[in-house]
Amino acid sequence: MTNQLSPSRRRFLQTSLTAAAVSTLPGGLTAANIRRKNIDEYAPGNIKLSHRVPSNLSEDDLHFLQQIGLRYARVNWPVDASSLAEMRQTRDRFKKYGLEIYSGVQYAYRSLKVQLGQPGRDEDIESYQQFIRNLADIGGTIASYDFHPGNTYTTSEVETARGYTARKFDLEDFRNRVEKQMHDRVYTADDIWANYTYLMKAILPVAKEADIKLALHPDDPPLEMMNGVAKVLVHYDGYKRAEEISDSIEGKGSPHWGLTFCVGTWSEGGEKMGKDVFEMIKDFGGRGKIEEIHFRSVTSPLPSFIETFPDEGYLDMYAVMKALRQVKFNGMLVPDHIPQLVGDSGMRRAGTAYAVAAIRALLRRANEEVG
């Protein structure tokens, strides 16, 4: 006597068991409609979740980033520790933990000689030019930079209503208590644009030669004058002028110039930015000019705001993620200015893990909805 079922009997039992399982699902759900499409987070066309870290990040912290599923890094090298040998060593150390260095930063461009047009700036620019070449050698894609030599980022750190510690900027507090004449004289917008143009004429041809994309961060916070120095990347018109400068150097559509688009900074400006976050994504992102996203929110626009985790703040961060996928953004996205949770120090592992998990959930939902 055999225990094998006939093919027809086997099909009958399989159908019966499936029907029984489906009947137990609540709300009329079926096995078919509860299954989600498996979208590969690490596919080439997807957004590259990452984190901003120093080149000397500890082995334990590298292991931590591996554990929370990150495969890309935005690495900051000190000016005096960014030789080709040192950068190769960093690449090899990160690679052991499955981390690819996608974006790089070195602050020679932040030299006051460079940003204020002082004697000796060419030596600092040469250092940054060599950094761009080194970044290409180790397989990097983006060199992220900014241009605000008189900046104050924050006026205090406060405990939020939810109980974590975060950065706060208050305009009245800045003007009355913090602001000071930072340099030898007042620097106008014309001065800053002239110095920015000088830098771009020197580094954009090198970026083209090395096939590295320069990604320009907006001024944070977006105020037109701080500490006696004008800031020019505080609205849409500033970014358009920066784009025109790049086009004049490399040609229309300058493929080696783009944006490090900081959602938090743009949210701080509110209606004064000329275009809102979504209009910026549609404009620059729609033309493939956004290279890197800093993904954070704030409690409100200026004159006062507190930086928040992605699941708080006044901006709908899922709508931001969805807008990025609608323009097919597939560059780097990092959590920005991680608030501090109880017991956190150093790279703030708990806060980083929380922020990355929240961002990953938004990305997966956007991928499922947009494709």
What ranges do the domains of the chain cover?
A: 43-370
Angstrom CA distances, 250 to 103, 140, 192, 289, stand at 21, 21, 21, 14
Q: Give the residue with greater pLDDT, 234 vs 2.
A: 234
Per-residue pLDDT for 16 more than 80?
A: no
Q: Average per-residue pLDDT in the chain? A: 92
Q: Is the pLDDT of residue 25 over 90?
A: no
What is the model's pLDDT at position 15?
A: 44
Confidence of residue 23 (pLDDT cuts 50, 70, 90): very low
Q: How confident is the model over 96-133, as pLDDT tens digits?
A: 999 999 999 999 999 999 999 999 999 999 999 999 99
Rounded to an integer, the average pLDDT of 263-289 is 97
Number of helices (H), then strands (E), in the chain: 13, 15
DSSP 8-state class, residue 362? H
**Residue 91 reports pLDDT greater than 90:** yes
Q: Is the pLDDT of residue 8 over 90?
A: no
Averaged over 296-310, what is the pLDDT? 97
Assign domain 43-370 to its CATH superfamily: Divalent-metal-dependent TIM barrel enzymes (3.20.20.150)
Q: Would you state the pLDDT for residue 204?
A: 98
Contacts of 143 (CB under 8 A, 6+ apart): 103, 104, 105, 106, 131, 132, 135, 207, 212, 213, 214, 215
The pLDDT assigned to 12 comes to: 44
CB 74 within 8 A of CB 51: yes
Phi/psi for 228 (5° steps) reads 80, 15
Structure confidence at residue 19 as a pLDDT band (50, 70, 90): very low
What is the pLDDT at residue 41? Answer: 86
Task: List all residues 6 or more positions away from 222 whose beta carbon is below 8 Å from its beta carbon.
Answer: 231, 233, 234, 235, 265, 266, 268, 269, 272, 273, 302
Residue 338 has pLDDT above 50, yes or no: yes
Q: Which amino acid is at 204?
A: L
Q: Report the predicted TM-score, pTM, of the whole model to 2 decimal places.
A: 0.89
The Cβ of residue 347 has, within 10 Å, a number of other Cβ atoms equal to 18
Position 313 scores a pLDDT of 95
Q: What is the pLDDT of residue 17?
A: 42
Q: Look at residue 320 in the predicted model and tell me its pLDDT.
A: 98
Share of the chain above pLDDT 70, in %: 90
pLDDT of residue 44: 86
Among 1-5, 50-54, 330-334, the range scoring the smallest mean pLDDT is: 1-5
